[in-house]
Chain A
Amino acid sequence: MAYDLKMRVWRGDASGGALGDYVVPVETGEVVLDAIHRLQATQAGDLAVRWNCKAGKCGSCSAEINGRPRLMCMTRLSDFAEDETVTVTPMRTFPVIRDLVTDVSYNYEKAKQVPAVSLQPPDADGKRRMMQSDVARGQEFRKCIECFLCQNVCHVIRDHEDNKKAYAGPRFFLRYAELDMHPLDTEDRRKVTQDVAGLGMCNITKCCTEVCPEGIKITDNAIIPMKERVVDRKYDPVVWLGEKIFRRGDRASRTEV
């Protein structure tokens, strides 16, 4: 069934902008991105929007739809009443470039600060052996499609521009946790996670987990365990001494970076 969808779409650039009103013909089964594309093809050829896969796999089309951070390609129009106005605005945490496109370079800067994986040498046959149960933890975090919606809603940076300098955000806490839980990695990144990535500034309000389109349990499975690991490193003198003297446990094979 086709109907006319009322849309409000933010148009503008770094110097300012406003919501524009549009009426877009849409069909059953369509998603917000379909409506945006039709708007672009027929009424606003220069409407700026990022997208690639249109299947929830690339994380390009993040925006705020009726105030909720979502992927436009995975937000079905059937979630809204036909007479409801759908409002689409750019992610708020990042500076606007134009229309729905924001400057997400903050995230790419933070990516550069993560010390890369550094594995033990392979077995004699040139292969590496890891159990599925051991890689599963890291695999959950590597489902991340870098849509940056978690970064967008993280209140540490959403309303505090100053914090961006010292805070990497949930997307990258996933990355630090993934490396710390890698069965064959040789580096101990707990200190950089705290000192460089600013893990301590997160106060686990779980906003990131709520918006993750991949359903990654960012707070429970990555951030909280990482916080515990950081605390272990800092405050448990017995563990610290034991590891120093006996070179025991997982940490024994890791070198602090």
Chain B
Amino acid sequence: MTGNALDADTADSSGPHGIESHDYDVIVMGAGGAGLRAAIAAHDAGARVAVVCKSLLGKAHTVMAEGGIAASLGNLWPQDNWQVHFRDTMRGGKMLNNWRMAQLHAQEAPERVLELEEWGALFDRTDEGLISQRDFGGHRYARLAHVGDRTGLEMIRTLQQRAVHLGIDVFMECTVTELFKDGDRIAGAFAYWRETGRFLVLNAPAVVLATGGIGKSYQITSNSWEYTGDGHALALRAGATLINMEFVQFHPTGMVWPPSVRGLLVTESVRGDGGILRNSDGKRFMFDYVPEYFKAETADTEQEADGWYEDKVNNRRPPELLPRDEVARAINSEIKAGRGSPHGGVFLDIASRRSPEFIKRRLPSMYHQFKELADVDITAEPMEIGPTCHYVMGGVEVDADTGASLVEGLYAAGEVAGGMHGSNRLGGNSLSDLLVFGRRAGLNAAYYAERTKVRAPRVSDETISAAAERALAPFSATGGENPYTVQKDLQDVMQRLVGIIRTADELTESLGDLERLKARAKNLSVEGNRQYNPGWHLSIDLANMLTVSECIAKAALERRESRGGHTRDDFPGPDPYWGQLNIVLSLTDDDTIESKRQPLPVMPEELQALFEEN
């Protein structure tokens, strides 16, 4: 089913295989923030563009984003500007970020937010009527443009409505299984309609990957079923490289009880709006976990921390608002030390700090979520929370300015792209990332398609038949395994052995387990037919989940230090040697994942100076 009815005439089913085929300049995979923004940009640049997405339009994972969009609009704190945002972002990522991406992001985010407003977004306002901005971890000033705690919904709806208005074709509930190449160049994609199980071929010289992340490889995650690392795996198979895959963000605050909602996100806005963390002794423990790196900018008394919300000039930031990696590790330590809450988390308390009216106005979804799903009234009692797999910093290695991967015609933006966030992403920097780099990738994919028009790539019939055969394999296998069981076992391996705290032994063990899971995944059987069959869909997604899981485990074993979203018990501190290096992963001809070390791009002096001031 499609969002904008595809003219029956544009679909050509007369190919040698009778497979439906479409011609475009740019195919965008994914309809979250990055995908929709890329499609809008490609459309504006004059390209014929189509969006292909696994779910219905408007349901992508962006819809779950809660806190806000980080952009130095300076509406509440005129001292804020792109340099401060850039600095916060780099420090949050422990300087492993691609500096150029972090710079473009900080410079362009405000414009992208105002553009959403132009397209109909209704952000919360300041007293002067400007877009309101909220405090978040790692950001020096209140910087997140927001709508209560449902900012992602506002963003996706705005982009969706814009894309519909522009008449962009959307292939909904349509999953890409392979990318096609003509020689070294991208030539299109092979996909199936979930509704019917029928195949389709999308011919296009340029493909923008905007497929999001990988969280479904973990047991406890805030991510939806779609997050199976499709873009990561497709890029790798097409010959592109991945960087920073060892860095997985465990959001400090996921729900822990009841089991049904374990992992479900509790927005950082709770802390941004005044919430604090306590252990079972009632102690506000984050003061014990301020690392040297952030000591100078973090409050060391409760009084100073509490004063910061109103007066950011004379007070330093509360330790609850350290970057996510720091807070997640601290919570993990408290739980391990036996100071956890009854259901294996710690307490997040805003009830004793803010009025019920304030909480309901600023955090309506959280109020609703806890009331409906856990019988907890967050205006009257603390929440129980614990870390949940939330985001992957790693992704396709891209050119900062254009989003181009190493493969000609292949672009990536948003969570599937690597580099922007270094070893740890600051809250709020994801939504802005989607907008800034979605737009850049869309524009540049369109320009590339235009340049390459005179020599359009072609896909052979044999290639198409082979793709169809591979996709159908699970139907012909008999006596194979249930894909749901293999997925469950994969999640168990990743959660136990490649989680928040890692060791060489466990990572090595995980790689052995992953090999065995890969073998099992080669022999899956599914019941039923091709029509809307989730078992079949999972059997295809599983290959991608296994590929990205192996990438994470391999890179994690390689990086012998602790930094950001990668903590090694056997190498507890950061190491300046590793601080200069990205781990780059590629796929060899015999399907082995290979890693190499690559120096980070060097930051120009004028930007380096920003880090010397303080």
Contacts and interface: CB of A to CB of B under 8 A. Distances in A.
Given A40-B534, A55-B264, A55-B369, A45 B150 contact: no
B258 interface: yes
Interface string B518-530: 0000000011110
Interface stretch (A116-124, A222-230, A246-254): A116-124
B225 A52 contact: yes
Contacts of B528: 45-46
B564 to A, nearest CB: 26
A60 B56 contact: yes
B583 interface: no
Nearest to B483: A45
Nearest to A105: B1
Interface string A25-68: 00111110010000011101111111111111111100000000
Nearest to B123: A135
Interface in B476-515: 482-485, 488
A163 to B, nearest CB: 20
B259 A129 contact: no
Given A46-B533, A48-B533, A51-B225, A74 B55 contact: no
B63 interface: yes
A126 B118 CA distance: 11
A144 B122 CA distance: 13
A256 B161 CA distance: 20
Interface residues of A, number: 62
Given A29-B257, A99-B532, A45 B527 contact: yes
Interface in B351-395: 365, 368-369, 372-374
Given A45-B527, A52-B224, A116-B162, A142 B154 contact: yes
B603 interface: no
A139 interface: yes
Contacts of A47: 534
B214 to A, nearest CB: 16
Interface stretch (A107-115, A189-197, A234-242): A107-115
B369 A97 contact: no
A101 interface: yes
Contacts of A210: none
Interface string A140-168: 00111110000000000000000000000
A97 B195 contact: yes
A55 B120 CA distance: 25
Given A55-B265, A58-B224, A116-B120, 9 more contacts: A29-B261, A40-B484, A42-B484, A45-B482, A45-B528, A53-B59, A108-B1, A112-B4, A139-B148
Interface of B: 1-5, 55-61, 63-64, 73, 75, 114, 117-120, 122-125, 128-132, 147-148, 150, 153-154, 157, 161-162, 164-165, 172, 195, 224-226, 257-261, 264-265, 365, 368-369, 372-374, 482-485, 488, 526-529, 531-536
